[in-house]
């Protein structure tokens, strides 16, 4: 299970000591990656290198959590994150533009951010709690057109949102699998049973702040 987990800390009041703690846990439990806010990318990369975690991926978020920044700002965020050592980028889609059926905007934004990734993996956060099943499929199709590497369920920041749902992960997987893309389940995955269901539905990554709890129960 641990090889699926991106150990995550994205809360607004995260402190350096809390970041250090999840980095230590990632090394101890041999997680695939850590996901931190952009201001901690450089610290995380250096800390992992100095503490036996040089193989752990440093993942960060762009346009987080609303996705409503301009494309230009998201691109600049991405360039900065990669410069600071980010191994992968998780961008938030512009849900309003998706609902307006401005498919060209969405596609071009993903293309621009993917170019700024300089070969690093790009995950597109769909925010499935806000979407219909048809919109989830269309968002996945636009992510394919934009050249993304993954689609991801959620930020975990939608008020009263559920986050990742098995049926949504399965729908996303069925939509993108033939394009060679992968699925990250994130938001509300807090135990091993739920994580296993996400993997069985097609997720190859699990974004969670409960990584230790999940692997401790293996």
Distances (CA, A) of 88 to 116, 153, 159: 11, 16, 26
Catalytic residue among 123, 165, 184, 197: 184
Q: Let me know if 90 is a catalytic residue.
A: yes
Read off the tokens for 24: 């230590």
What is d(CA 34, CA 50) in angstroms, rounded to the nearest whole number?
Answer: 15
Q: Let me know if 24 is a catalytic residue.
A: no
Nearest to 59 by CA among 117, 134, 103: 117
Catalytic residue among 90, 129, 149, 168: 90
Catalytic residue among 45, 97, 152, 197: 152
What is d(CA 41, CA 111) in angstroms, rounded to the nearest whole number?
Answer: 23
| Cis status of the peptide bond prior to 65, with omega within 30 of 0 | yes
- Cite the active site residues: 90, 152, 184
């Amino acid at each position: 299970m641990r090889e699926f987990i991106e150990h995550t800390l994205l809360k607004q009041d995260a402190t350096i000591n809390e970041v250090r703690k999840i980095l230590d846990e990632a090394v101890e439990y041999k997680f695939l990656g850590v996901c931190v806010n952009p201001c901690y990318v450089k610290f995380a990369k250096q800390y992992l290198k100095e503490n036996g975690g040089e193989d752990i991926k440093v993942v960060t978020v762009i346009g987080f959590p609303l996705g409503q920044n301009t494309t230009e700002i998201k691109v600049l965020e991405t360039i900065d994150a990669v410069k600071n050592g980010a191994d992968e980028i998780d961008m938030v889609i512009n849900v309003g533009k998706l609902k307006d059926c401005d498919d060209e905007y969405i596609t071009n934004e993903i293309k621009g951010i993917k170019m700024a990734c300089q070969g690093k993996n790009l995950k597109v956060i769909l925010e499935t709690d806000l979407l219909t099943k048809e919109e989830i499929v269309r968002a996945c199709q636009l992510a394919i057109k934009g050249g993304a590497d993954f689609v991801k369920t959620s930020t975990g920041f939608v008020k009263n949102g559920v986050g990742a749902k098995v049926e949504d992960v399965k729908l996303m997987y069925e939509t993108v699998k033939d394009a060679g893309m992968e699925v990250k389940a994130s938001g509300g995955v807090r135990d091993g049973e739920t994580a296993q269901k996400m993997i069985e539905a097609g997720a190859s990554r699990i974004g969670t702040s409960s990584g230790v709890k999940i692997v401790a129960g293996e």
